[in-house]
Structures are given as structure tokens and as C-alpha cells.
Amino acid sequence: MRRLFLANVLGVTLLLFSAAIASAIDVPKWWIGSKGDYEKLVTAAKKEGKLVWWSHPDPECRSLILAPFEKRYGIQVEHTEYTTAQIVQRVLIEGAAGLYSVDVSNLSVHHIPRLEKRGLIKKLPYKQRVKTYRDIPEMISPNSTALIGYTSPRSLAYNTKKLPNDQVPRTYEEVLNPKFKGKISVDTDLKEYIMLAQDWGMEKTKDYLRRLGALKPKFHPNNTVITQMVAAGEVLMAPGTIARIPLYEFKRKGAPVDWRALKPSVPLDLLLQGVMTHAPHPNAAELFIYWMHGSGEWLAGMEKCGGYGHAMIPGSKLQKKLEGVKVVPFGWAWGVKSAKEGLGEQFRKIIGAE
Amino acid sequence: MTAATDVQGLSTGNGLLAGYLEKINVSRVVFVLVMAVLAYLMLGPLLFLLWDSFHPGWEIGDETAFTLSSYIKAYTDKRFVEMLVNTTIFGLGATAFSVGMGSIFAWLVERTNMPFRNVTYALLFAPIAIPGLVFAISYILLLSPDIGVLNKILMVIFSLEEAPFTVYSMTGLIFVEGLRLTPGSFLMMAAVLKSMDPSLEEAGYTTGAGILQTARLITAPLMLPGILAAFIYYFITVIESFEIPAIIALPMGLQLLTTKIFFATHTTTQMPQYSVAAAISVVFILASAGLVYLYTLSTKHSERYTTITGKGYRPRIIDLGKWRYAAVGFTVIFFSFSVIFPLLVLIWGSLLPYLQPPSLEALEFATFDSYLKVGNIPKFGLAMKNTLFVTFTVATGTMLLSSLAAWFVVRGRIRGGRIMDLLAFLPHAIPSIVVAIGLIIFYVKMHRSLPIYGSIWIIIIGLLTKRISYGSRIMIGAMFQLHKELEEASEVCGVGWLKTFFLVTLRLLIPAFVNGWLYSALLSIALFTIPVMLYTPKSIVFSVLIWNLWENAKVQEACVVGVLMVVITFTLVFVGQYFASRARVQQTLT
């Protein structure tokens, strides 16, 4: 009898204790799912204690973008810097062998259907859990397996010393001025033109590339090299440069570089984040990806570091900067189609890079 | 103690028959072991390359049937012939330049009394430690027609209206790549010369031949196997390289085979097509196989090249007389281009927030802050620790395995020596990125039984696979010059094969071993393609750190780490020099 009494007391105490813990979890305003779901997710995520994130923001930004999450939830984020190509490669090879080491990955648009087909990327109720995802549904991939973590406009980088402000082209047409012959750097991935083709159509894009190729641009394979060449004055400008690191970093350090969004339309590259189906820390990963644009802390950190931003989020720095300009985001379907058809290779042949 | 006394001392009094049996058994066992290790290291990437070239998408888990589509895509490109011609010109030009220069410096450093030889030796290593991208960019800052400092100076001095030089040309490309590869070929040739008895050269002088005549008629022919080995190795190195062409050839639209490989594997707009890269690499493999075969034919009568015998082997120094100063002048000019200018650009870059042409105006931005904050670079300490471990392990493993393989190739009377030679060389023709992908696939699949994936060992295996080709070339070249009479003497005294190998053969080849060790060590520090594909947060190394810094526009920090790599390089070189000199002194005393 006494044992039964003690057991009951212990049970009630544990129940009250659990309830106390649960009630200690504040449900944030950005969470639009049920309170119970949030509490359950947070408790499970805390229990996992860590997550593995493969992405490519500068490790120095780590503290700015990850510290709020780690502090709030006590979950350690193990970040490794890989390119999206490296990430998808590893995820596919590991997946084929049944080995899973990553929770959240940075990906490109054309990777998503491939990962979905192999069941390697997790479908999540983004729009039912987070206010931002509900309000900006185009942030979420069509099958609700990934979200747009940040966006990068491709724009004209130019040398502010060698090219006076009044001579900096304002439109794509002005870039084709013969006086710039041999003074332009072009990124060999030509991704900006793949994006622009959505807006311009294929014929106009190809014609533009032919005319740009006639100006004998210098082809460079890497964004830092391109920005370096612009900063050193080896070229006057580089259309299609990613308006983020390294451009921001060089400018911050006093290099004579700046960027301008060319008219009529600015291609907007999308960098995605997705939770892996077999994530070793599934709850921490899920919480992390909801927090990402739910809390606003991620974007605030990103904006302080290397020019990362999100043009789709109202009020963000990047959205303000691109106000009044026609933005052409890399369409989900277009990204897949262009990869399948090898548009990059076709365009390189037209411009004379390959 | 000399090699001969070692042999006597080690003689245990076993009968000749017992010693012979012991030799046969041990050498055969070692042969099988070396062959097994080489096959383990080499066959994986080779088979992966061949399989993948016929099964596109297989490497990313696609179920694909046998197809020739990758070959069709690679070889029916409208510009394929142009690429092939450009690649051949580039390969021959840069190889001739680097091997030619490497041979001249090897002769000057090892055979003559040119002043500052030790400094020359140490400085020759510096370009290896300078990151390839920085090395190439430094030549744009020097020789670009628009911003090149040297061009500007020459234009002012000679009142020229146009820049006299341009780095954006095939000549410029050959020049820069040749400069970058000269240290490696120098080491190959130096190893050959260090192990070569100059008594034949002495005979030449006695008969009245001058220095140049003796060099042409005696030294050069004796060095032939070494020169051929270096030429073959560097030809493949050049045609496979991309770092320099990326900065110099791509901007001018010059198409090379590696450009095609780069576009197939480094794409942000579609899935990488490793099978196309593999199909192109088959050309490199065939070229390698053909060159190794030619090499085999040309060194068929290897005894013609042996110069280290049991009779009074003693390296001697040639007095250049008044030509000493001409040699110093030539060395200074060469070093200005190959070491001093790029090194100054590296140091300049480490003081400035971004690379810019040298000027007084730019000097205002100069600061040593990055040096003071180097410890704050994320994972710097871990990268340093891992780099040292990887460097030591890869260099030592490479040279031990290479030395054993070289013995079986040159000396072994066991069938399969030539296969071993080919096996050791072919991975050199496989692009590093293909090797890395092959390793990922293999070790991911093997993870449960062999948990190497994700550890530092997969990087070590990858680098070892690529470095064996160099190590084996350098040791085969040196082994050709070692007469077998010392080993035979050892055999007669009843010393076992293993002891003879380590205490006689390897000891006489220590200079070549040290050179090979140094170069392998330095390349293990500097090369990034394999580590960047295989690293994890725990196995990060310097080359990956530099690449990540570069990608994040931390050019200044990348240059600081580059400068530190040069410092490590010099330290390694001086330590290596010390041991090589001691070995030489010991040999001379005997």
C-alpha cells in the first residue's frame, strides 16, 4: 500500500515536472502550428542536441547567423563549407550506400527533383508551421521539400576608379558599347543568362550572347577571381557578378568596386535549404529550418555578413535595394529544364567560352 | 660505417644457398605486397574512370546501361581538334621549359661550384608553396598588357607606346606553367645527378673536353633516363593542369582539354558530368601508357646508365671559373621570375585587403594585421596539425612504396615489373577530381567494414595515389644509375634481401629519396583538389583552408596562410638539405 502511494506521488511529481518544462517553452509568434507540435519538436530537438549543416556562407558569419539559434535552443550546429555541387554529389553517393551524415543542406534548384526522386529530401509542412512560409509561398519548392534560404541578384560589378559613374552602363544594351571591347569579364557559368532567358526568351538571349562574345570578354571561372580582376583594374566591369561575397567583402575593405542592377531585368539566383529524409538529427534539423526564416534572426545575421540577403522578404535590405527593378527569380521548373537541356554549355559555345 | 662494411657486418654466416633462398622468398613476398598496395591504390580510380566513362550518371546513383555517349560528347566537339593541338603545344612547350630549366639548375647546384647553391636549392621550392591561383594572378599583375607592372616599367624606360609583353598568349601560358613546374623537374634531375659518379665527366676533362662539351657528350646522355622520366611525368602534369590555364588561357578563349574537363565537372547550372571528364582522361591514360612504353624501350639497356658502382663512387664539384658569375646572373634572372616576383606578390597580397598592382598609393592600405590575427582564422590550428600529419604520412609512404617499386621495375628479375611501373604511373593521368569521386564512392560503399570515409585517411590515400607516380619516377631514374654489384656483394655475403635493400640500396639512394620526399611533402601541402572533395570539419588541411578563404574573398588571409606555407616549405627544405648533405658526406667518406 505504501509502495503504491509512493509510486503515485512519484508519477504525479514527474507529470507536474514535465508540464512545468513544457510550459517553460515559449511558443514564438512566427509559429503558426499548434502549441503542442512546437513543444514536442523543441523537446525532441533539444534531446538530439546537435545538427549537421552543409552550406557555403563564410565560416566567419557563423556566429552571426547561427549563434541566436544555438543560444535559444541549446543545439549545436556543426557547419561545413561545401559548394552545392559537392553537397548534392555527397548526398547522392551516401544515399546510394545507405550512409547518412548530413541534416540540412544548401542546394540549387535543379538538384531538388533528383533528390526527391531518390527519396533523399524530406517533405515538410512549411506553410502550416511558419508564418513567413505561409505568407510568401513561392519561397517553398513545389513539393514542399526545400525553401529559399537566401537570394543573390546577379548584377554589374565595376571598377569605380577606372569607370566614372556616368559611364557605368545602366542597361544590358549599354554593356555592348564597342568601347568596352576586351575590358569585360564574364563568369563561365553564364547562369545569369539562363535566368534572363526566362524573361527575354531564347532567341533574344542567344543574340545578346553573340554580341557580347564579339566584344572579346575575358572569361573567368570563379567569382573571387572576377571581383579581383575588377578591383585590380584588369577589366572595367563584370556583368552577371554575384552581388554578395566577394563583391561586398572587397568593397567593405576599400577596393574600388561597386555593383549596379542592370535594366531591364535583374536575374535572381536562389540558394535553397532542405532537410534530408534520413537526417541523423531529424528534429533539430526541422526546428532549424523552421527557425531560419520564421524568427528573422537568420536574415538579420545574414545581412550583417557578406551581403547575403533575401529579395523576397518584404522589408529586407535586398528587397529595398531592388525596389523599382524588374526581378527575374530562377524559376523552379526553368531551373530543372535548363539543367536537363544543358543551357549553360549551349550558351558557352555561343559566346565562345567553350 | 660504409655500405661495404655494413654488408660484411651483416653477414651472418648463413650458407650461400640459404641466403639465396631467403632473398628469393623475401623479395617475392615484398613484390606481391607492393603490387597489392599499388593495385589497391591505383586500380580503384582506374576502374572507376573506365566504368564511369561508359556509364554516365553512375557516380551519382543513376542506373545506366553501357553507352558511348560520353565519348561521343567528348570527341565530337567541334573544337576537339583545336583543343588537342593546343594541349599538345602547351604540354610540349611547358614540359621542355621546365625540364630544361630543371636540368640546368640541377647541374649548377649539384655539379658546379656556383656560389649560393644552398640558397638556390631552397628558393627553388618556393613556387610550390604559392597557391596556384595566386601564382597565376601574380603574372597578370606583372605581365598583363593593361596593368602589368613590368610592362609599365619597360614602357617608361624604352618610351614604348604598347606593352612589350602579354601573359595572354600561348607563350605566356607556357612560360608561367613552365616556371611553376621547374622546381619539381629540378628535384628529379638533382636526384639523378646526386646519385651519379662524375668520374666519366672527369675522364672527359682529362681528354681536353670543355665544360659544355662534357655536359653535352657525357653528362646529358648519362642523365637520359632521368630526363625522359621527368619529361614524361611533366608532360602529363601539364596537359592535366588547370589552375594556370584557368587564369591565363580561359580569359583569351584558348581551349584546352582540361577546359572541357573543368566545364564538365564544375558546373553550377547542371549536374556534373564526370563521365565526360573520364572519357577525356582516357586520352591522357593512353598517352601515359604510350610514353611509359617508349621510356621502357629507351632504357632497355639500363646498365649503360649505371654510374654508382662499388669502385670509388665519389660525387665531385666542377670548377666553373669565371663562368661562376654568369651562372649566378642567370640564376638571379630566373629566380626573379619564378620565385621573387610571385613571392613578393604573395607577401604584398598578405599586407593588403585585396590584390592590386604595386604602387605607392596601394602601400597606404598595407597592414600587418592579418599576421597578428592569423590565429583567429577559423580552424587554423586544426588545419596546421592535420596538414603536418598528412604531409609526413603521404611523403614517407610515397617514397617507401616508390623505392620498393623502383627496385622491382629496374632490378627485379620477377615478371610483372613493367606492369608495376605502369600501375604506379597511370593514376597521374587521371584528373584529381575523378580520383576523389572514385574514392568517395569506394569508401562510402565500404564504410561499414572499412570506416575511412570522412576521416583524414581518405585524404592521405587520395594524395598517396596521385604522388606515387612522381616518387616512382624519381626513384626509378636514380635506381638506373646504381650498379647492382654492391647488392650482389651483399648477396654473396649472405645478407637477406630486405636488409640489403634498406641498408645498401636505399642508403645509396638517400639523396634521391630526400628530394622525392620533399617534393611529395610540399605538394601534399599545396594541392587542394583532392582534399577539398574529401575533407570534413575534422580533417581540414591548409590547402582547403586557403581555398575556402579565397572563396570568401579573404584574399589577404589566404595570402598570409600562403606565406606561412612558404615558411614551412623552407624549413622542410633546410632540414631535408641537412639530412641529404649528411648522407652525401657519409658516402663521400667511403
Distance from CA of B295 to the nearest CA of A (A): 34
Of A215 and A93, more confident: A215
The answer to whether A234 contacts B550, with C-beta atoms less than 8 Å apart, is no
Residues from chain A that touch B79, judged by Cβ atoms under 8 A, are 354
Query: Looking at residue A222, what is its pLDDT?
Result: 81
Contact A216/B at CB under 8 A: yes
Distance CA B22, CA A299 (A): 72
The answer to whether A221 contacts B266, with C-beta atoms less than 8 Å apart, is yes
| Chain A, chain B: beta-carbon pairs less than 8 Å apart | 166
Distance from CA of B278 to the nearest CA of A (A): 16
The answer to whether A220 contacts B147, with C-beta atoms less than 8 Å apart, is no
Query: Looking at residue B529, what is its pLDDT?
Result: 78
Query: Looking at residue B10, what is its pLDDT?
Result: 45
The answer to whether A233 contacts B444, with C-beta atoms less than 8 Å apart, is no
A239-269 per-position pLDDT tens digit: 988 877 788 888 888 889 999 989 889 999 9
B266, B326, B297, B283: which is closest to B529 by C-alpha? B266
- Answer for the pair B34, B52: CB distance below 8 angstroms, yes or no: no
CA separation (Å) from B5 to A215, B481, B508, B581, B585?
74, 21, 14, 21, 16
Q: DSSP strand E in chain A: where?
A: 50-55, 76-81, 104-107, 147-159, 185-187, 218-220, 237-242, 257-260, 265-275, 326-329
B86, B131, B89, B431: which is closest to B266 by C-alpha? B431
Q: Cell for A307?
A: 551581403
Query: Looking at residue B13, what is its pLDDT?
Result: 47
- Residue to mutate among A53, A54, A60, with most B CBs inside 10 A, is A60
Distance from CA of A304 to the nearest CA of B (A): 15
- Answer for the pair A155, A178: CB distance below 8 angstroms, yes or no: no
Query: Beta A185-187 vs A104-107: how paired, if at all?
Result: unpaired
In this complex, the residue of A111, A190, A254 whose CB is nearest that of residue B353 is: A254
Asked if residue A68 has a cis previous peptide bond (ω within 30° of 0), the answer is no
- The confidence band for A42, taking pLDDT boundaries of 50, 70 and 90, is very high
Query: Looking at residue B307, what is its pLDDT?
Result: 55
Distance from CA of B280 to the nearest CA of A (A): 15
Among chain A residues, CA nearest to B136 = A225
Could you give the percent of chain A with pLDDT greater than 90? Answer: 62
Q: How far is CA B38 from the centre of its chain?
A: 18
Among chain B residues, CA nearest to A334 = B269
The answer to whether A231 contacts B365, with C-beta atoms less than 8 Å apart, is no
In this complex, the residue of A88, A90, A227 whose CB is nearest that of residue B553 is: A227
The answer to whether A344 contacts B270, with C-beta atoms less than 8 Å apart, is yes
| Predicted TM-score (pTM) of this structure | 0.80
Distance CA B221, CA B306 (A): 12
B232, B248, B206, B376: which is closest to B299 by C-alpha? B232
Query: Looking at residue B11, what is its pLDDT?
Result: 46
Residues from chain B that touch A58, judged by Cβ atoms under 8 A, are 552, 554
The answer to whether A188 contacts B354, with C-beta atoms less than 8 Å apart, is no
Contact A58/B at CB under 8 A: yes
Asked if residue A264 has a cis previous peptide bond (ω within 30° of 0), the answer is yes
- Answer for the pair B515, B478: CB distance below 8 angstroms, yes or no: no
Of A340 and B208, more confident: A340
- Answer for the pair B381, B541: CB distance below 8 angstroms, yes or no: no
Among chain B residues, CA nearest to A84 = B268
- Residue to mutate among B269, B276, B455, with most A CBs inside 10 A, is B269
- Residue to mutate among A100, A110, A253, A348, with most B CBs inside 10 A, is A253
Buried b (16+ CB within 10 A) or exposed e, A296-310: bbbbebbbebbbbbb
Contact A13/B at CB under 8 A: no
In this complex, the residue of B263, B353, B357 whose CB is nearest that of residue A348 is: B263
Q: Is the pLDDT of residue A214 over 60?
A: yes
Distance from CA of B497 to the nearest CA of A (A): 44
In this complex, the residue of B263, B356, B555 whose CB is nearest that of residue A354 is: B263
- The confidence band for A14, taking pLDDT boundaries of 50, 70 and 90, is low
In sequence order, the 6+-apart residues with CB closer than 8 A to the CB of A278 are A95, A100, A120
B407, B281, B328: which is closest to B23 by C-alpha? B407
Query: Looking at residue A350, what is its pLDDT?
Result: 95
- Answer for the pair A347, A208: CB distance below 8 angstroms, yes or no: no
Residues from chain A that touch B357, judged by Cβ atoms under 8 A, are 232-233
The answer to whether B251 contacts A225, with C-beta atoms less than 8 Å apart, is no
Distance CA A171, CA A189 (A): 21
- The confidence band for A281, taking pLDDT boundaries of 50, 70 and 90, is very high
Query: Looking at residue B304, what is its pLDDT?
Result: 55
In this complex, the residue of B61, B267, B272 whose CB is nearest that of residue A95 is: B61
Percentage helix, strand, coil, to 5, in chain A? 50, 20, 30
Residues from chain A that touch B379, judged by Cβ atoms under 8 A, are 59
Is this complex's ipTM strictly greater than 0.90?
no
Among chain A residues, CA nearest to B380 = A59
Contact A231/B at CB under 8 A: yes
In this complex, the residue of A97, A245, A353 whose CB is nearest that of residue B552 is: A245
Among chain A residues, CA nearest to B544 = A81
CA separation (Å) from B99 to B129, B229, B234, B242?
19, 10, 8, 19
A117-138 per-position pLDDT tens digit: 889 999 999 999 999 999 999 9
Of A343 and B311, more confident: A343
Distance CA B187, CA B208 (A): 30
Q: Is the pLDDT of residue A194 over 90?
A: yes
Q: Which amino acid is present at B160?
A: L
Instruction: Give residues 120 to 179 of A whose Cβ lies within 8 Å of B.
Output: none
In this complex, the residue of B147, B252, B553 whose CB is nearest that of residue A250 is: B553
The answer to whether A219 contacts B141, with C-beta atoms less than 8 Å apart, is no
Among chain A residues, CA nearest to B273 = A342
Contact A348/B at CB under 8 A: yes
The answer to whether B268 contacts A88, with C-beta atoms less than 8 Å apart, is no
The answer to whether B268 contacts A80, with C-beta atoms less than 8 Å apart, is no
In sequence order, the 6+-apart residues with CB closer than 8 A to the CB of B454 are A101, B536, B538, B539
Contact A230/B at CB under 8 A: no
Among chain B residues, CA nearest to A230 = B356
Q: Is the pLDDT of residue A23 over 70?
A: no
- What is the mean pLDDT, run by run of 10 residues, along chain B of 590 residues? 44 54 71 91 82 82 83 87 93 95 88 85 76 80 87 90 91 94 84 70 75 77 79 86 86 86 80 84 82 71 54 64 89 86 85 81 84 84 92 94 91 78 82 80 81 90 89 84 77 80 85 85 81 85 83 81 81 76 60
Contact A110/B at CB under 8 A: yes
In sequence order, the 6+-apart residues with CB closer than 8 A to the CB of B301 are none
The answer to whether A93 contacts B61, with C-beta atoms less than 8 Å apart, is yes
